[in-house]
Amino acid sequence: MRKPIIAGNWKLHKTVAESLELANTLKTSLAGTTDTEIIIAPVFTALGKVAEALAGSNIAVAAQNCYPEATGAFTGEVSPLLLKDIGCSHCIVGHSERRQIFGEADQFINAKAKALLAENLKVILCIGETLEERQGGKMYDVLTTQIKNSLKDISAADMQNIILAYEPVWAIGTGQTASDEQAEEAHAFLRGLLQGMFDPEVAEATRILYGGSVKPANVDGLMAQEDIDGTLVGGASLKAEDFSRIVQFKCS
Ligand code: PGA
């Protein structure tokens, strides 16, 4: 029994006032939701205020990134310690935009995951292939490498605090969602990998989210798939009405 998770990645959008407005609207409209975990990831500058506004609610707050050291001479960075300090409970790592635009590699992502776990924060670890990799028949190799390297030296016990997000790069922000079958195929493959790397219990318990152009119109079909345990939503998480509908997905 894996409790679904719907997470909103606000990326580089919204001022503090706009973030608070959206957070407060969601707090009211989703107050009755108990069967799905809800997470939102605002920009750094809004994190503290949004976490304060949502304290005690059913919406958890995530950062979109972190640096794997607690303190030190790391100009411009934010650590897991500081995220915890302002009321964050989760952090996204390994998003394809960080991999592609900022050149982040699995080893760095692994260090971030471990630093977050050390502060008892939950990790949303993103992985996913590019269109070129998929068309070149390398999708399974890419996913295997990303998972193995990003989860290096992470224990079965720590996996309770790791959420995976399969986000095919070609589906992010493009409007081109993976089909239900394409997404399920990748998720089932990832669950199989977890079984081999850890054990059947870890494979069974780990939540694997799908991300890439999730919208109210396609969430129900995705969530009906056996191995899809939630979604990581970018664009559609910026509108209260759309995100609320995604949280209230319907499985037939
Ligand atoms: P999208 O972004 O929903 O806008 O495609 C998803 C993500 O990057 O997490």
Mutation pick for ligand 1 pocket among 90, 100, 213, 218 (CB with most ligand atoms within 8 Å): 213
Told to judge if 90 belongs to the known catalytic residues of this protein, a careful annotator would answer: no
Helix, coil or strand: residue 98: helix
**Ligand 1 surroundings by CB, under 6 angstroms:** 9, 167, 172-173, 211-214, 232-236
Mutation pick for ligand 1 pocket among 64, 166, 172, 209 (CB with most ligand atoms within 8 Å): 172
For the chain, how many structural domains are there in total? 1
Residue 168 falls inside a structural domain: yes
pTM above 0.85, yes or no: yes
Residue 10 falls inside a structural domain: yes
Helix, coil or strand: residue 7: strand
C-alpha 35/C-alpha 238 separation (Å) is 22
Per residue in 23-57, pLDDT tens? 999 999 999 999 999 999 999 999 999 999 999 99
Per residue in 122-149, pLDDT tens? 999 999 999 999 999 999 999 999 999 9
Residue 252 falls inside a structural domain: no
Token pair 């960080």 is found at 98
Please give the C-alpha separations between residue 162 and each of 4, 148, 216, 217, in angstroms, as whole numbers. 14, 14, 26, 28
Show the domain range for 134: 5-247
Residue with the nearest Cα to atom 3 of ligand 1? 234
Nearest ligand 1 atom, CA 214: 3
Cβ atoms < 10 Å from Cβ of 152 = 15
Q: What CATH number should be reported for the domain holding residue 160?
A: 3.20.20.70
Helix (H) or strand (E) holding 222: helix 216-223
